[in-house]
Structure 1
Amino acid sequence: MSVAEMVSNRIAADGLAVTAIENVKVTDLVAEYGTPLWVISSNQIRDNFSELAEAAQTLQPFEIAYSIKANNNRSVLETMRACGALVDCSSEWELKIALAAGVPGSAIILNGNGKSESYLQVAVDAGVRQINVDSLKEVQRLEDLAQQADREVDCVVRVKLSYRELLAVDPSYERTLRVAEAKFGSSIVNGDADRTIDAIAQSERLNFRGLSHHAGFAGYRANYTPDNQLLHVRECAREMAAYATVLRGRGTEVERLDVGGGLRSGRNVLLSTPGDGADVALHPLPTAEDYIKAIAAGITAGWAGDNRPLVQFETGGFQVANAVSLITTVQDVKETEHPTPRRFITVDSAMTMFTSRGSSRVGYPVAVAGDRADDRYESVPVEVVGPTCAYDSIAEDILLPRVEPGDLLMLMNQGAYAEVTSTQFNAFPRPAVVIVDGKHSHLVRRRETLEDIVSREVSAS
């Protein structure tokens, strides 16, 4: 694979080496901030938001909420808000981060299953845009809190669909349902959704506004193809809209359809099963326009009558995936002959800094970074690894130009679910984060120190 196939439109590449992010040279970033270093392209975030918003014009009215779970750095949140995005929070702590960053409650959508009373209390006090209610019991908890606060709360019900037509075409999606989606929502099939909606409709303080469903990114567990990805979002939108039509026939108006996210930014995504480099490959991604067309087709097929609903998006991966890279320094190069010839490149970052690599099929393309004179690929399979004492394979069976200790590599597409899943395994401090805007760069999260790692320890004596 070439660097041109991997980089975002805000990363400059010369031959096979990445030389700059926006208008800041990689070598200048490393000289000022060191490595490992996450670098955010603010203009790439803006480009991604504009791409989705422009495509969604055909779905008016619509709202785009940024899912803070993908990357909770305050600079990312502020950039998204400046673009006009709402904020989607999936925990009490994300909600508090958003509020601390100055996001008004009226611009926040709340998600999550089994929400605690304290989580709901903060949401009620903040006057959030809506709470995507997960269950009947959650309605009961929320009703009590709204009564005590003497406030009205807008509710959207997250529904669990039947998925019958989707699974008939793509049976592999059952793995995603079983592992990732099974715990969420009130089932349409067994009547839980009806009971949850009825409880909201009968409440004095809760207002039923619509339905929610999140299809998720198909590359995690299902058999990924761009067509399958579009099938998933189209069919889920259709079934949700069809249920809305049933509700409207009963006299329950549905004003909002929250279709979630499930789209990644960039031209392609690297997928490979951890521990099995044989299946590594770049797969093309649907465009934002294709994604919007699929959702529009689904809603049109399921929605009967006029009064088109407000369509809400909760996109995290699409906004940031290709907007963040991790720059890392080569520490060691080791040649092995057994059982097969292979070159191990150890870098100063680790897979434990983005544990999502070990729990999903999404990988991170690797390119040489900085100033390179020798940019020829070599035929020896390369494994890029971290220096920890656990499974720590960052990239498997790839080809790279020859590198030596001190050279720089760049891990692409680190914006979504990378930094937020980082750990301190083997007491490695987590990297610093820098945001680049044109020709300027700013430190937005400092590098951890050993003092940070041990600061929570309390002596038992």
Structure 2
Amino acid sequence: MDAFTYRDGQLHAEQVPLARIAEDVGTPVFVYSAGAIEAQYDALAAALADMKVGICYALKANSNQAVIRTLAARGAGADVVSEGELRRALAAGVPPSKIVFAGVGKTAGEMRFALETGIHQFNLESEPELELLNQVAAALGVVAPVAVRFNPDVDAKTHAKITTGKKENKFGIEIEQAKAVYARAAAMANIDPVGVAMHIGSQLTDLEPYRAAYRRMADLVRGLRAEGHDIRRVDLGGGIGIDYSGDHTVDLDAYAAIVRDEIAPLGAELLCEPGRLLVGNAGVLLTRTVFVKQGTAKRFVIVDAAMNDLIRPTLYEAYHQIVPVAEGASESPHPADIVGPICESGDYLGKDRPLPDVAEGALLAIKSAGAYGAVMGSSYNTRLMTPEVLVRDGDYAVIRPRPSYEELIGQDRMPDWLSPQQDATTPVRARGAA
């Protein structure tokens, strides 16, 4: 479902003109389509339906409460990587029995909270984590359900910063060590090793790495079962990519066929953990042009959104389509760099883009911004965090408001030696100094 289409010359989110949201809420602003989120979830669920795969939404893609609840109402569980995300999932109505806790650095406090909550499983990432989890579970008098996440050493053929399935990555346990770790887990009184897990990376558009990794996973399961272990669950991970450029869409039926061929014959309970796939193309970042600066070598379209709002272009060299909200602004698009006001050369949203002539005040929409946009945002340069809006049909609601400067600055606290009357030009002597 493409929720962002032109009607009467204006780009809409479902039935709501984006210009109306910009006028009411201000810019920059993230706008999400509830219908697009639901349609993408339904498409994945339909492709996997015959295998009864549990879908646990990866909150790290977009952890707004309204987005989580939209998916939970559809039947989704949650994949979390921190106590904060776990609390968000619970607050949004995800049952503990549908929550998977992943991540390489779980603390004792996070483990304790998750065990007290009664989550579905921990995805185990290392032997030290196993030892600590056993200690925490023993102190609580409970047994921790664990899936050992192994690293299949498969190249996901994606960006180096978002690949997770090779030996040089920090994630998971190397496949050569997996059997020994599993045996150690099985010997612990407060650990129930229920299965195996893997996740080889994010934004995969080539499906062959999945086939290679799942084949290794199936071999590992068969080997563990031959040694007497009861492997009841297989966690497939996530990472299925989305179409950022408009010329390639991942075939979900083709992905399901790989799962059907390689994993389904094991007869285990199956889980998967999509994030970007469900929300990425369901959102745009709406921004307004501040200035247009024509240099001798470049045309710069300076907008009010910046790298603190959407860091993906400068962090991952990521591509997002950028289009005018008003259709037909010019018949002759020509290259421009779309940049923000932050004092960094890396503050850009797109480079050398064919963009029509745009006037100061014109609105632009940065597409495919529903994943890893707002969640990675910051207040760098003391810029206000970007609000979020959710659209359904002809209605919309602000689901995270823009804070005020008073609220942002009010988070700081002055030490007692810096009184409001302190003259900023007077040196402050260190405590204990003569």
TM-score normalised by structure 1 residue count = 0.85
Conserved? CA contact 1:18–1:367, under 8 Å: no
Larger CA Rg, structure 1 vs 2? 2
Question: Counterpart in 2 of 1:137?
Answer: 128
1:245-287 deviation line (CA, Å, top 9, x unaligned):
111111112111111111134xx224xxxxxxxxxxx551312
Q: 2:195 matched to 1:202?
A: no
Q: What is the CA-CA distance between 1:375 and the residue it aligns to?
A: 4.2
Change (3 A) 1:392 1:263: same
Match of 2:363 in 1: 408
Q: Indicate how the Cα distance of structure 1 residues 307 and 382 shifts in structure 2: closer, same or farther if over 3 A, else same.
A: closer
Other-structure match for 2:234: 257
Count, aligned residues:
415
CA distance 1:374–1:454, shift in 2 (3 Å): closer
Partner of 1:313: 272
Superposed, 1:154-169 pairs within 5 Å as 154-163=145-154
C-alpha distance after superposition, 1:106-144 (max 9, x if no partner): 121000103110110111110001011112221221112
**2:171: which partner in 1?**
184
2:61 maps to: 70
The one-letter code matched in structure 1 to 2:43 is: E
Partner of residue 46, structure 1? 38
The Cα shift of 1:180 comes to 10
Aligned residue number for residue 28 of structure 1: 20
1:109 to 89, 93, 100: 100
SS across alignment from 2:21: helix
Asked whether the equivalents of residues 247 and 254 of structure 1 are also in contact (C-alpha less than 8 Å), the reply is: yes
Provide the C-alpha distance between the structure 1 equivalents of 2:251 and 2:230, rounded to a whole number of angstroms.
32
Provide the secondary structure at the position in 2 that maps to 1:50.
helix
Alignment partner of 1:356 is 2:341: no
- Offset of 1:195 from its aligned partner? 2.6
Change (3 A) 1:333 1:421: same
Closer, same or farther: CA 385–311 of 1 in aligned 2, 3 Å? same
* 1:239 shift after superposition: 0.7
1:246 matched to 2:223? The reply is yes
| Alpha-carbon offset, residue 422 of structure 1 | 0.8
Q: 2 CA distance for matches of 1:409 and 1:384?
A: 10
Asked if structure 2 preserves the Cα contact closer than 8 Å seen for 1:355 and 1:423, the reply is no
Gaps of 5+ in 2: 418-434
Mapped partners of 1:437, 1:180: distance in 2 = 44
Find the aligned partners of 2:288 and 2:210 in 1 and give their Cα distance.
Answer: 39
Residue 334 (structure 1) aligned to one of 293, 296, 303: 293
Alignment partners' CA distance in 2, 1:91 and 1:122: 11
Q: Distance in 2 between matches of 1:402 and 1:112?
A: 46
Letter in 2 for 1:206: I
Q: Secondary structure at the match of 2:360?
A: coil
Measure the CA separation in 1 of the matches of 2:159 and 2:395: 45
> Which residue matches 2:336?
382
With over 3 angstroms needed to count, the CA separation of the structure-2 counterparts of 1:204 and 1:386, relative to structure 1, is same
Q: Is the 8 A contact 2:286 2:364 kept in 1?
A: yes
Equivalent residue number for residue 251 of structure 2: 287
Counterparts of 1:411 and 1:436, CA distance in 2: 17
Q: 1:129 to 1:366 in 2, by over 3 A?
A: same
1:398 aligns with 2:364: no
Q: Deviations over 1:143-165 (max 9, x none)?
A: 122222222221101001243xx
Whole-Å separation in 1 of the counterparts to 2:118 and 2:272: 20
In the alignment, is residue 124 of structure 1 matched against residue 131 of structure 2? no
What code does the residue aligned with 1:197 have?
A: Y
Relative to the length of structure 2, the TM-score reads 0.90
Distance 1:173 1:352, change over 3 A: closer
The equivalent residue for 1:223 is none
Separation in structure 1 between the aligned mates of residue 381 and residue 166 of structure 2, nearest angstrom: 29
Amino acid in structure 1 at the alignment position of 2:300: F
1:343 aligns with 2:299: yes
1:231 is aligned to 208
2:420 paired residue number: none
Query: Structure 1 pair 175/393, CA: closer, same or farther in 2 (3 Å)?
Result: closer
